[in-house]
Amino acid sequence: MDVHSKAVRSKNMRAIRSKNTKPELLVRWLLHTQGFRFRLHARKLPGTPDIVLKKYNAVIFVHGCFWHGHNCHLFSMPKTRTEFWSKKINDNRRRDKLAYKQLISNGWRVLYIWECALQGRKKLNQVRLTDTIEEWLMTEEFSAEISYLGVTTLN
């Protein structure tokens, strides 16, 4: 038996929020395997992108579906302290939008990769995921997101 109740455990899990998460490591590993060169956690850039591919003028954010309030099966608003979580998630989304605008106006291309594309019951298979990322990097599109549904161009 687990010593923690489910509620306590999920609270602990949410408290552990850091860079170098498992989904992010997966994306880095995939890119590395394909021979891409990149920098990590560029603090000088708006929003501190997780991955920066200078050659492609592109930055990548690996977004946790809970933290960034993704409309998918990995997100549900907690039933306790709802107001607290809802504010936190909305703040994150506001920051995301601001960073996005700044990056685009500084000439960067922005790709979001959502956690649900990387793990969970609907994750994309790794070959498809890698191809999708690689194909997007080769385009000149300003921005896109990859979720469990595949790639979507953003405006």
Binding site for Zn ion (CB under 5 A): 65, 70, 72, 74, 114, 116
Give the Å distances, CA to CA, from 69 to 14, 102, 114, 122: 13, 21, 10, 17
SS3 91: helix
CA–CA gap between residue 25 and residue 76 (Å, rounded): 24
CA–CA gap between residue 51 and residue 42 (Å, rounded): 7
Question: Closest approach of Cβ 37 to Zn ion, in Å?
Answer: 28
**33-69: string of b/e by CB count within 10 Å (b at 16+)?**
eeebebeeebeebbbebbbbbeebebbbbbbbbbbbb
Question: Closest approach of Cβ 113 to Zn ion, in Å?
Answer: 10
CB closer to Zn ion out of 50 and 56: 50
Question: Closest approach of Cβ 80 to Zn ion, in Å?
Answer: 22
CB closer to Zn ion out of 28 and 70: 70
CB closer to Zn ion out of 21 and 42: 21
Question: Closest approach of Cβ 115 to Zn ion, in Å?
Answer: 6
CB closer to Zn ion out of 67 and 142: 67
